[in-house]
Structure 1
Amino acid sequence: MDFKNPMRKFKIVFLGEEAVGKTSIITRFMYDTFDSNYQATIGIDFLAKTMYLDDRMVRLQLWDTAGQERFKALVPAYIRDSAIAIVVYDITNSASFDAVDQWIEDVRAERGDDVVIVLTGNKLDLEDRVISTEKGESKAKELNVIFVETSAKSGANIKQLFKRAVLALPSMEIEEEEEEENKKEDIVQVTPVEEEKDQSTVCWC
């Protein structure tokens, strides 16, 4: 184990209206399964998973929040120290899409610009969609957030959702830059004098 580079930990909070699939996205990511028997989240659930990202490992703390109105007063406390907020809507439910503005506003009220926000249109497996991809992309551009469409049922884009969110973290970008600098330092620079010495050992005959 490299103690100079301890495993990074990031808190991810899932937000959105009731029954948009927040729990299903987490379950698919955690266990690669899907439960068609819907059960509403009561209050807040917490899970954690280690994710292998390229040649690095990160520890993701996943906070699943309830979408019901009576639990919304709890949400700000869980947003407060999050690194990533994933705001989910159901592509077959226009009301859930209309609510994303308020969810994102709540995130920025607590975290300002110190958070990565991903707008996620879930339930790609369903044919009766009412929110087009273009509309989702336009909303994400308007709100200056990342956009991903997923299906918790089929697993489509679930891993990509988490990968894009984590790679967008400023600390990960800094880490990548440091790694590149370290790689450059590891390259042995040959001076002109050394080049001449090397050439003198080569037989040109």
Structure 2
Amino acid sequence: MREEEIETAIKVVVVGNGAVGKSSMIQRYCKGIFTKDYKKTIGVDFLERQIEVNGEEVRLMLWDTAGQEEFDAITKAYYRGAQACVLAFSTVDRDSFEAIESWKKKVEDEVGEIGMVIVQNKIDLIDDAVVESEEAEALAHRLRLRFYRTSVKDNLNVDEVFRYLTEKYLMQINCEVEEELDDKPKISIGKGLLDTETNNHVKDTTEKTKDKANGKLLKKKHKNRANDDPDTIRLEPSKRRTRGKKSVLQVAKCVIL
């Protein structure tokens, strides 16, 4: 497969209580349409869209999950394999806001930590808001997640939500590739880099040199230990005067253990 044919695919799950606008958001993003009629999602729905980010082709697979508890057993299975997640609540639904942390936990229990974003939908109904702006911002700050206010009806910030998740995921996989390259064994001598086989040889030689040095050091330690042991009888060199020039006659030192 040629490089230009390689495509990045990202699975994004959109979660939150029922009637917060999850289906409408995906419809708006993928098909560019909006309908006022509310239809409860049964289980899951799926749409996809092809976009280009920083010159790279990306296929977004968007999974719209039912928000009602009776569908939990079904929807949890569809979280698996997700690389990004939208946590949505409605401006006019207090319960949906208070359930955000619960939805975050449900997703992370299945897939671990992935890129997430909090979305306050139906911002066009701000006059009827039951969630203060400061509350929503404080929640996002505490959970350390990006926060967007959207209006699916007016097509406000919908594209920005999914573009952010895409860029975040691409940055993550690029960092993982760089870490894998950095983890490869390398040793620098002068200006060049040795291959793995040479590295192993150099490593073995270095270890042998260290072993020899350690052996000498060990002998020296044993020697010093004998000198410091109070139970050891030492015979020190003796000195005697001569009629001629003063000189010191040393008797070989011996240690009796």
What residue number does 1:125 align with?
124
Q: CA deviation at 1:173?
A: 4.7
Q: What is the letter of the counterpart of residue 6 of structure 2? A: P
Q: Distance in 2 between matches of 1:174 and 1:111?
A: 16
Q: How does 1:183-202 map to 2 (within 5 A)?
A: none
What residue number does 2:148 align with?
148
User: Which structure has the larger Rg over C-alpha atoms?
Assistant: 2
Q: What is the letter of the counterpart of residue 110 of structure 2? A: E
Pairwise CA RMSD:
2.0
When residues 174 and 16 of structure 1 are mapped into structure 2, their CA distance, relative to the original with a 3 A threshold, is closer
Q: CA deviation at 1:133?
A: 2.7
Q: Distance in 1 between matches of 2:142 and 2:80?
A: 23
Segments of structure 1 that go 5 or more residues without pairing to the other structure are: 179-205
TM-score (norm 1): 0.80
Q: Distance in 2 between matches of 1:71 and 1:177?
A: 35
What residue number does 2:199 align with?
none
Q: CA deviation at 1:176?
A: 8.6
When residues 104 and 3 of structure 1 are mapped into structure 2, their CA distance, relative to the original with a 3 A threshold, is same
What residue number does 2:96 align with?
96
Segments of structure 2 that go 5 or more residues without pairing to the other structure are: 178-257
Q: What is the letter of the counterpart of residue 164 of structure 1? A: Y
When residues 77 and 174 of structure 1 are mapped into structure 2, their CA distance, relative to the original with a 3 A threshold, is closer
**1:169-192 deviation per Cα after TM superposition (whole angstroms, max 9, x unaligned):** 2x43554998xxxxxxxxxxxxxx
TM-score (norm 2): 0.64
Q: How does 1:155-170 map to 2 (within 5 A)?
A: 155-169=155-169
Q: What is the letter of the counterpart of residue 27 of structure 1? A: Q
What residue number does 1:3 align with?
3
- Using the aligned pairs only, state the percent identity: 35
Q: Is the 8 A contact 1:79 1:85 kept in 2?
A: no
What residue number does 2:171 align with?
172
Q: Secondary structure of the residue that 2:128 maps to in structure 1?
A: coil
Q: Distance in 2 between matches of 1:49 and 1:109?
A: 27
